[in-house]
Amino acid sequence: MTRRNIEGSFHLSGGDFTNAGAASSELKSILTNLGINPEIVRRAAIATFEAEMNVIIHAVAGVMYYLITQDTIKVVLNDMGPGIPDIDRAMTEGYSTAPDWIREMGWGAGMGLPNMKKNSDRFKLDSVVGEGTTVEIIIRIKEGKTE
Amino acid sequence: MNVQEIVDALSLEVKTAKGDLSRTVTGCYISDLLSDVMANAKEGEIWITLQTHPNVVAVASLKNLGGIIVTNRRSPEAETLQKAENEGVVIAVSPLSTFEVGGMLYKMLRC
C-alpha cells in the first residue's frame, strides 16, 4: 500500500514548559494513526521530545518540521537559540549547560542529545553560536535500526 | 497486576484519570531525571518520582507508561493534574518515601 508524503510543522516557544511535549505528542499520534510499527514510533517520540525540550529549555523560539515518506520519518528542528560552542562536548553523555532551576525539574542531565542520536538512524547537528541550532533526525520506517 | 490493585495495596490517593485504573502494569521505573525515564522506562511500567510539574505527564504519555506515583507527600501542581486528566494519565500520591513505595512494588511485581 502506498501513501502520499505527509509533512507539517509546529512552532515552539522557548520557556513554554506548560505546552512542552505537545508537538512530539501530536507527531506521535500522526505516526501511530499511519499504522507505523510501534517500536519505530517509540524511537521517534523519544528523539523528537528531547529535541523539542532542548528548544524550550535553551532557545527563544523554534520550528519543528516533519516529513513522513514511505521509507523514513525526517524531523528538522531549527531554533533561535544561543548555539552550541562545542558540539563534541555537547554530545557527551552527562554534559549539560542547563541552569540549576532546569535541573531541579529533572532536565539538564546531559542525556538529551545522546538520546536523540541513539534513537535516530541518522542524526545531524549544526550550530552557530549567537544564531541558533539545527537538529536533523532521520528514522527509517521500513527496516528499522540496523546497528 | 493492574493500577487499581497497586492503589489498594499501597493505599495511594488517586488524583487523576480515575477511570483508567484497570490498566495492566508490567513493571516499575524509579527516577527523577526525565531524560532517564524517556530513555529507559518501558511501556506499561509505573513510574515513581518526586517531580510534580506538567512535563511528567508528557513523559508518561509519550512513553505510554502505566501511571505515575508521586512520593513523599508531594502535591502535583494544578496544571499537572489538569494535563493528566486530559490525557488519561493516572497520577497517584503517597506520603511514603520513594524507597518505601519502590520496595513494596518490587515485592508485588517481582512475583
Residue A131: count other Cβ atoms within 10 Å of its Cβ.
12
- What is the Rg, in whole angstroms, of the alpha carbon atoms belonging to chain B? 12
Which chain B residues are Cβ-neighbours of A49 within 8 angstroms? Answer: 38, 58-59, 62
% of chain B exceeding 70 in pLDDT: 99
Contact A106 B63 (CB under 8 A): no
Number of folded domains that form chain B: 1
Domain residue limits at B42: 3-110
pLDDT tens for A68-127 read 999 999 999 999 999 999 999 999 999 999 999 999 999 999 999 999 999 999 999 999
**What are the sequence ranges of the domains in chain A?**
6-140
Q: Is A10 within 8 Å of chain B by CB?
A: no
The per-residue pLDDT for range A21-49, each reduced to its tens digit, is 999 999 999 999 999 999 999 999 999 99
Dist. CA A96–CA A108, nearest whole Å = 6
- Is A50–B38 a contact, with Cβ atoms under 8 angstroms apart? yes
**What CATH number does residue B90 fall under?**
3.40.1390.20
The alpha carbon of residue B107 is apart from the nearest alpha carbon of chain A, in Å, by: 27
Check if A46 contacts B (Cβ < 8 Å).
yes
- The 3 state secondary structure assigned to A77-144 is EEEECCCCCCHHHHCCCCCCCCCHHHHHCCCCCCCHHHHHHHCCCEEEEEEECCCEEEEEEEEECCCC
Mean pLDDT over residues B46-52, rounded? 98
What pLDDT, on a 0 to 100 scale, did the predictor assign at position A145? Answer: 45
* Fold that domain A6-140 belongs to in CATH: Heat Shock Protein 90 (3.30.565)
Return the C-alpha cell found at A58.
535553551
Residue A143's pLDDT band, with cuts at 50, 70 and 90, is: low
What sections of B3-95 are H helices per DSSP? 3-10, 34-40, 55-62, 78-87
Three cell numbers, residue B64: 505510554
Q: Which chain A residues are closer than 8 Å to B55 by Cβ?
A: 17, 20-21, 53, 105-107
Closest CA–CA distance from residue B36 to any residue of chain A (Å)? 7
Q: What ipTM was assigned to the predicted interfaces of this complex?
A: 0.88
Assess contact for A66 and A41: CB atoms under 8 A. Answer: no
Report H helices in chain B: 3-10, 34-40, 55-62, 78-87, 98-110
